[in-house]
Structure 1
Amino acid sequence: MINYLQELQNSWSCPIKGLANTSSDWQNTPHWRLLKALNDNNYRGKDLMVLFRSVIQYEKINNSKLASLKIPKNLCTSILQEEYKLASLDVRQTSSANTCIRSFEWYPQWLPHANKESLESRLFIDENCHSKTECAGDPFLKFLNFQRYRSNAQREAVRSVLCAPPGQTLVLILPTGSGKSVCAFIPAILYPSVESELMGVTPIVVPTISLALDLAAKIENIVGHRVAYRPEERENALGIRMRCESGTQGPLIVSPEVFVGSLFSTLLKSAKNGHIRHVVVDEAHMILNWGDEFRPSFQQMSSARRKLLSQTKTPFVTVLMSATLTQYHLESLEKMFSENENLTIVHATRLRPEPIYWQAQAPTKKQRIDWILEAIHHLPRPLILYTTLKSSCIEWNNIIINNGFQRVSMIHGDITPREYQKQLQRWKENDVDIIIATSAFGLGVDKADVRVVIHAELPESLDRFYQDVGRGGRNGNPCLSLLIWTLDDWEIVDSLSAPTFIGGEKGRKRWNAMFNSKKVVDKAESIYCVSLNSAPELDMKSEQNRLWNLRTLLLMDRAEIINIEHPTKENTRNFANVRLSTLGHTQLKLWDERIVPFRNDLNQHYAKQKELLAKMLNFDMSCCISSLFEECYKSNRYQIPIVRACGGCFHCREKSQRPFCGKILPRRTPKITFSQKTVGKDLQKLLKTDKLGCVYYPSTIKGDKLLNAIQDLVLWLIDQGVKNIVSFENLEKRLWKTPYNDRSRLFFLHQDVPCDITKNQPTVFVLDQSPTTWWPKTWEIIQDSLPTTTILIIPINTQAPDHPNRYVYDVLPCPSIQLQSWEEEYLE
């Protein structure tokens, strides 16, 4: 085990020496971060001072013998004597070469309950807030270099995606850090059959460049080519287009704008050729959160998906993924992305146990600045400071830099993509300690060690607050959430809390102007092409006018006045094809009947979000903050319960309640299992018209000889369409190794009778001579009613559990074959 303090002291004169140690535990310490800062000669002063404090606090908590830290004097020359007090530090010179620094606990008087508990006390403890939830994996995970699932919830989600019938829509709600990306990658890299070695095309739509690059970095080495489509990289973009058309691309990571725009014609060709088997949308809550307002392409994905479905030979599976979805999100996604009640929700919604929540109301803006600067002088790094407005982001960047901090970066929506990537890379590589950002930052950025998230303004909703706080503690360790607000912040909340949807009369005028510009596409089907540049008044022709027209059409689509038919390549940007869904679409009465209730539902949703945010800020609240998050995300209609967790909040500190974390439990809504897959002709021949078949092997065959024989049989059954394997340990190990060396053999390993989403998939039970818990249960199922095609591979002398003196082959009337006979007839 590394002695972190000793490692630090050995590296004072040569920080690169300590940085060469790549242990993840070491790199998660303030000692390592201090060396990282020291290695950058451009940074000194307060950045180092706060890191000195973090090292001392870490050692005081984990090694109570340490009272102070001796630091080479030359490292302290850039820090003024009076500045140490700002970080609750005391400095003394102990020799001509060293300076001794002591730290004192920080109890900010302006923060309620800070006198009861130190804000830093849990931030330096190597304490994982989650209980271990790993479970046995399926062999196809090895293509992503995994052997186990992170949890039962991840296993249920992955298996649901792979078992879903054509045309199904799946919503996966899994906690942050549960491995949702595996649910997108596995179906994207597997081959559809033994005969085909084409991965096909799996579009994975993501909201931000950072998330696209993160996902691409995880999968490109596995598939061997570029997967993130960026139009500005012309050569790579051309290669991706060619692979999409030939069906060899596999995972394809795109933005919503690319999915509905520049790449859509290529995706249409791919769909017509039958290459698209899954379409995945990550961070699906953003379809509403951003699509309702400033990125309408998010909602255009609905019509683009319908168009692709109409052209494909076999309907693809749609997968929508998120860590949290409100009932408003779920209702909207169901309407936009599913048909004929084919929506299934796999959910395991557990709140984050890592954040420790603190909040304070500042009487003035100046007081808030003082309090946040005090916090920044004390709290450990990495640290994110969130603002709601871009102007506030810029202001805080200037304030923090002017106060002597230099390891600082800023990200907001108006910086260029190149600058965004530059600052994001600095953040990921720990070249900065503080990042100041608007709430868009961090979405999908998987930086594990963020210790502190500060909100310098009220976010527009409780949902937004929870999403922001979720950037911290992704490694499972405690993190701190600090919200400091003023009454003036409510003006910002009121202006941003609900999207600005167009009213009935103005919307109808826009629609009339667009409909007057129509060209007939298919009169029999009532499909018309309308111009998005049409304007109800002459002085309204602009890009904003085009966006308002697009928002109007999206609103009409969701209100079921029209259906947007995704346009062809030639008119993607300035025109839209629409199918009329009802008569009277130009009349104000219909608009009032359809649009007004829709707007009312939307306003109620955002009003609830504001109400919950206000409750959180009320220090007289009689409940844990987790109950507010539960109210935000639970859904009675979709039967989605919320498993509560809390790392600490005002209520829990008041009641001396310890941090708690509920157990994650996967569920499905509705509680169905997908219908069984068909099996191959040879297996049908063996079974005749029965669901059950037996393969008997001599009880004298044991060891490797038995494994070799059964292994060949099991692989043959997999090729014939069997998906579930219930067997003994040695055979499972064999199936994990060399025999499974292609991506077309998809199967699931079980330690017991399948009872999850795979229950109705064709199953083989392999029994050896050793006792097993699942055999009696299997026998009961066989005697009762088989849910699916079932094969038994058992020793010839296996006794029937309910007939101890009789063998299975005497009491089980079903097609059967001896192992040797199967080898002679079916094994080439």
Structure 2
Amino acid sequence: MDKLKLNAAVELYINNNTNELTLDFELHQGAKERFILHSAKRLKNSYDLFKLNLCGLNDVLISLRDYLLTLQVQIHIDTLDIPEENDFGLVKDLQTGKYFASYQFPKYVNHSFAEKAFLSEEFSTQVDFRGHNLHTDPLIVKITGFHQFKSIAQKLAVYGALNTPNGYTTLVSLPTGGGKSLITQTLAYQKEGLTIVIVPTVSLAIDQVRVAKGIIKSSRIDDEVFSYNSGVDPKPILKAIRNKTAKMLFISPEALINNTEFVDVIKEANSKRYLKNIVIDEAHIVIDWGASFRIDYQCLESWRKKLLLSNPNIRTILLSATFEQRCISILKDFFSSDGKKWIEIRCDSLRHEPRYMLVKSKSYSDKKRKMLDLVRKMPHPMIIYVARPDDAGEIAEYLHLNDIKNVKTFTGLTTGTRRKELIDAWVDDQFDIMVATSAFGVGVDKSDVRTVLHTYIPQNPNAYYQELGRGGRDRLPCLSIMCIYPDDLSIAFGRISKKVMTTEKIVGRWNSMYNSDCSPRKGKLNYIDTSIRPIYSSIDAFDDTPTSDADMNWNIYVLLFLRRFGLIKIHEVIPQSTKYIFVIEISEDALRMNDDHQTEVIDSFRSIELKYYQESFQTMQTAIKRSESYCWSEMFYETYDKVSEYCAGCNSHNAPNESDFVDFPLKIPVDYPFMELAQDQMALFSSTREIIIIPSEKERSVLLNELSRLRISAFISSNENNIDVWMNGMEAISNFIVLNAKDLRELVKKKSYYFFSGLIAVKYSGSTKDIYDLLKFVQSNLSTHSEIKVVHIIDENIYFDWINKAFVDLVNGPVIPVRALI
């Protein structure tokens, strides 16, 4: 990118010497180049608003500071009255008459971290090769054109999903930016049928379709890949599903559950077994959001179960970057049958982009002053997270009083229409400061957030991590700053009591619903009306949801509480106008009687729930108190038990802790289920478990295509250089994982036979010792399994002189000709 040329164009625009500023994003695919262009766009937008008196001068100066520090340029400006003494580090060079920006960071800020987040210096990120084989297979090449995966973690995640047997649920964790979208793309085109991808936001659905259409190699892509939201005409989508041309539909749970047209067409497609896969993106939201303001996420459990009754072969894929163990336990309970038909592909990894800072203030007024200074001096775009809607309004007003006016708020009280307007404007760089509660963030497609500023203490490290994770999704450095004062700890602890309803109120709400005339019983099923007011008189309210919905939300909280602990089963959730009817079955008889025993049972489980919140908050509290001597990321190691250590920097250390770079990304064994061998595969082996093929050069292409036709599950090669030759000759019939000897050993060490059971082919090449070592490893670890059949492929019958035996002498199986496969 020619920064000087870009700066000259910006300079002309800011000085009103041209009416247009053309920023060509399409030509610049690098993340840093895109960020530079967006910085110019944000400066242009703030200047335009300032001319219309729609924002303050300080809004423009913030954008100007970001722009100058990121590009490291100077600019001539005549149209802005920039004070000589200003709070933005803007300085006029008296010789050139041009402005430049100096950092002028506050003393309490880590200057090195902040400079990196402005992206003003060159930096490099480690590339995940480490001797791993990153080849795709011919079918993935045919679908996407990709010959290489981004990382071994992405490769394992993709094949973990693709290998999912019919009727199973696979939970896949893959770091943000690691390429989760390739999972849905390959899954949808792996076989004929419809894949429904449930996404949290409209913007994410739109972006996923855009990405898919740019990657998938199909001449009929516009008739195959769709996203739906309230602003989209559903007719073409419904028609494509009925005509069985639709392959992938991105949709929110609300539209999926409440839109009768989609309810009907999906039910019809499912009855014909055209529905093949259900993918839930950002699956942790089912737990985190479904318990409060995204109730339809809680409908997915019963919705899926109903579909499985007539189509038990549906595969379910749950995707996220990291999973807390409690979240996994609940998801497993929701989306598996008594823990059966459940697979976990765990490539959990902590974010590499955030640099952490804890800024401590002496008082609330000191905290506000520091917060204002951080807004002025830290890189943008910036999200300021608060606990409650009232706090968001207060901070926005405080910034407004300081002439920072182009600030928006987004909370649980923000209406649906306004939410879409805000997200669209945020993504379009129309403003760059968002003050928000936890209601904002997940799935919002803005990758270049440079600073996430917490002005409160979240209830636990998981909630905190999800919010700070909005920064640096373009995989470039960003800042996570927590600015607090002493009372924030006690205030945060006080919110824990609101998070867990008292036993008395749980009992009161349950009995109010269960015994109401509005909740009829039909056999063993109870139709619970969630709009029923409780029998007690006190008022309950969520911090971040409309007061009008409080009773329904708390009632649903009670039902989900009972469901989590196995006291009830939820068979169906029926949306009805402004309320929900939960069709439940009581599993614990104590719920039927409003007596002391019922109270004791509920109190015992409520104590478990409260203990979880108290202990997880204690983890945050400890991190805050020990921030100068212990790594900030330790709280995440405790929360996400499968991640390796990583921290780009925090109050206790400047140098990155990169321990996770040396670890194999698969965190837990995946030894189940094995792929089933079909009759045509078994026929090759008779009573043996291995065979040898010694093809001539002319027979190689025939052998490759026959192996593809026989649906091998893995192709293992000891020589990386030969893989491309072999892959180019294979037909794209089914998926199989390509491994080198190192990858094979790592997976065997992890006891993860899930990736290479069934029929596998091993191509031997290299030195005589390399061939011998790989052969003995394969025989010791693969050929001994009854669920694995091995095809040994070698160019000639190598002789091992140190044991006076040839290759064929060591294999307990025959040498067969290539024509025997045909």
TM-score (norm 1): 0.82
- The equivalent position to 2:198 in structure 1, one of 201, 205, 208, is 205
Aligned CA distance change for structure 1 residues 715 and 248 (closer, same or farther; 3 Å): same
C-alpha displacement of 1:246? 5.7
Alignment of 1:95-244 (within 5 A): 99-109=97-107, 111=108, 119-120=114-115, 123=118, 124-133=120-129, 135-139=133-137, 140-142=139-141, 143-191=143-191, 198=192, 200-220=193-213, 222=216, 223-225=221-223, 227=225, 230=228, 232-233=230-231, 235-236=233-234, 238-244=235-241
1:513 matched residue in structure 2: 515
Task: Please state whether the residue corresponding to 2:344 is helix, strand or coil.
Answer: strand
Q: Could you report, residue by residue, the CA deviation over 1:322-352 in whole angstroms, capped at 9, with x for unpaired residues?
A: 2232232222223222224333332233322
Q: Distance in 2 between matches of 1:313 and 1:631?
A: 37
Q: Are the aligned partners of 2:46 and 2:431 in contact in 1 as well (CA < 8 Å)?
A: no
Q: 1:745 to 1:693 in 2, by over 3 A?
A: same
Cα 1:811/1:206, change in 2 over 3 Å: closer
SS in 2 for 1:650: coil
CA shift, 1:763, in A, is 0.5
Distance of aligned partners of 1:331 and 1:713 in 2 relative to their CA distance in 1, 3 Å threshold: closer
- CA positional deviation for 1:464: 2.1
1:492, distance to aligned residue in structure 2 (A): 5.2
Give the superposition deviation at 1:630. Answer: 1.4
1:645 and 2:646 equivalent? yes
Q: Is the alpha carbon distance of 1:270 and 1:814 closer, same or farther for their aligned partners in structure 2, counting shifts above 3 Å?
A: same
Q: CA deviation at 1:17?
A: 6.6
CA contact (8 A) 1:106 1:119 kept: no
**Residues 132 and 821 of structure 1, relative CA distance in 2, 3 Å threshold:** closer
**Which segments of 5 or more consecutive residues in structure 2 lack a partner in the other structure?**
51-56, 540-546
Match of 1:37 among 43, 59, 65: 43
Displacement after TM superposition at 1:443 (Å): 1.0
AA aligned to 2:128 is K
Residue 729 (structure 1) shift: 5.8
Please say if residues 68 and 74 of structure 2, whose CA atoms lie closer than 8 Å, have aligned partners that are also in contact. Answer: no
1:255 corresponds to: 252
Counterparts of 2:525 and 2:371 in 1: how far apart (Å)?
57
- What is the CA–CA distance in structure 2 between the aligned matches of 1:432 and 1:12, rounded to whole Å? 20
Q: 1:307 is matched with which residue?
A: 306
Work out the number of aligned pairs and report it. 772
Structure 1 pair 774/666, CA: closer, same or farther in 2 (3 Å)?
A: farther
Aligned: 1:86 with 2:87: yes
Correspondence 1:725 to 2:715: yes
Change (3 A) 1:233 1:457: same
The change in CA–CA distance for 1:144 and 1:446 in structure 2 (over 3 A counts) is farther
Residue type at the aligned position of 1:595: I
Q: Which amino acid aligns with 1:747?
A: F
**Distance change (3 Å), C-alpha of 1:318 and 1:502:** farther
1:243/1:8 CA distance change after superposition, 3 Å: same
> 2:443 is matched with which residue?
444
| Number of the residue aligned with 1:527 | 525
Amino acid aligned to 2:599:
D
User: Of the candidates 616, 638, 650, which is equivalent to residue 631 of structure 1?
Assistant: 638
Distance, in Å, in 2 between the alignment partners of 1:669 and 1:29 is: 37
What secondary structure sits across from 1:484 in the alignment? Answer: strand
Q: CA deviation at 1:675?
A: 0.9
Pairs within 5 Å for 1:696-711: 696-697=694-695, 701-702=696-697, 705-711=698-704
- 1:562 Cα offset (Å): 2.2
Q: Which moved more, 1:555-564 or 1:748-757?
A: 748-757
Task: Give the superposition deviation at 1:625.
Answer: 0.7
1:590 to partner: Cα distance:
5.2
Structure 2 counterpart of 1:462, which letter?
P
Counterpart of 1:595? 602
> Percent identity at matched positions?
21
The within-5 A match list for 1:702-781 is 702=697, 705-718=698-711, 722-727=712-717, 732-733=723-724, 736-737=727-728, 740=731, 744-752=733-741, 754=744, 755=747, 756=752, 757-767=754-764, 773=770, 776-781=773-778
Name the amino acid aligned to 1:49: L
Deviation at 1:506, TM superposition (A): 0.9
Query: Who is 1:194 aligned against?
Result: none
Counterparts in 2 of 1:54 and 1:631: CA distance versus 1, 3 Å: same
Structure 1 257/363 Cα, relative in aligned 2: closer, same or farther at 3 Å?
A: same
Residue of structure 2 in register with 1:195 after alignment? none
Letter of the aligned partner of 2:514 in structure 1?
N
Q: Is the 8 A contact 2:140 2:735 kept in 1?
A: no
- Residue in structure 2 matched with residue 23 of structure 1 by the alignment: 28
State the partner residue of 2:283.
284
- Note if 1:324 corresponds to 2:322: yes
User: How far, CA to CA, are the matches of 1:488 and 1:597 in structure 2?
Assistant: 31
The CA deviation string for residues 454-493 of structure 1, in whole angstroms up to 9 with x for no partner, is 2233333332222222122223332122222234545653
Give SS of 1:19's match: coil
Q: How many angstroms does 1:136 deviate by?
A: 0.9
**1:282, 1:81 → 2: CA distance?**
48
Match of 2:570 among 543, 549, 564: 564
1:607 CA drift (Å): 1.0
Q: Which secondary structure state, in structure 2, belongs to the residue aligned with residue 651 of structure 1?
A: coil
- Shift of the 774–805 alpha-carbon distance from structure 1 to 2, 3 Å rule, reads closer
Tell me, yes or no, if the aligned pair for 1:265 and 1:568 is still in contact at 8 Å. Answer: no
SS at match of 1:385: strand
Look up the equivalent residue of 1:50 and give its one-letter code.
I
Asked whether the equivalents of residues 344 and 670 of structure 2 are also in contact (C-alpha less than 8 Å), the reply is: no
What are the Cα deviations for residues 95-146 of structure 1, in whole angstroms up to 9, with x where unaligned?
xxx623354442424x2x75x8674366422324544348513224432443
Of 311, 334, 337, the residue aligned with 2:335 is 337
Q: CA separation of 1:478/1:729 partners in 2, compared to 1, >3 Å: closer, same or farther?
A: closer
SS of the aligned residue for 1:357 comes to strand
Q: Match of 2:53?
A: none
1:148 partner SS: coil
Separation (CA, whole Å) in 1 of partners of 2:676 and 2:202: 38
Which residue of the partner structure matches residue 683 of structure 2?
685
CA contact under 8 A between 1:31 and 1:55: conserved in structure 2?
A: no
User: Secondary structure at the residue paired with 2:683?
Assistant: helix
Amino acid at match of 1:213: I
Contact 1:426/1:432, CA 8 A, preserved across alignment: yes
